[in-house]
Amino acid sequence: KQEVTQIPAALSVPEGENLVLNCSFTDSAIYNLQWFRQDPGKGLTSLLLIQSSQREQTSGRLNASLDKSSGRSTLYIAASQPGDSATYLCAVKPNTGNQFYFGTGTSLTVIP
């Protein structure tokens, strides 16, 4: 069974810093990996989707990389802002089935 781990569980940084969130998974037979953002009590907002054949995806200040062979993905956030404060979740979709396996999330606080 796919296990997804996110480190650190919580992170607090001053505004303007660049930061990296980590996601690791145990089974490299994935179809894609998706990063989500969740604000308190709310649903999930998709940030970036990386196909298994891709190495990275970028959207604005966000860059996600994927190293399938080592079972790792990172989400890089440049020039962090207080509005980036949220929980960030990574999820992997296996080659079979439409189910996502989610990590436990990293709670990010950006201090003004």
Contact positions toward another protein, by CB under 8 A?
A: 32, 34, 36, 41-46, 49, 51, 89, 91, 97-105
Considering beta carbons, is residue 7 or 79 the nearer one to another protein?
A: 7
- Residue 27 CB, shortest distance to another protein, in Å, is 15
Give me the DSSP letters along the chain.
Answer: ---EEEE-SEEEEETT--EEEEEEES---EEEEEEEEE-TTS-EEEEEEEETT-SEEEETTEEEEEETTTTEEEEEE-S--GGG-EEEEEEEEESSSS--EE---EEEEEE-
- Residue 97 CB, shortest distance to another protein, in Å, is 5
- Residue 44 CB, shortest distance to another protein, in Å, is 4
Considering beta carbons, is residue 18 or 45 the nearer one to another protein?
A: 45
Considering beta carbons, is residue 54 or 74 the nearer one to another protein?
A: 54
- Residue 93 CB, shortest distance to another protein, in Å, is 8
Considering beta carbons, is residue 19 or 49 the nearer one to another protein?
A: 49
Q: Which of 56, 58, 85, 60 is nearest to 72 (CA)?
A: 56
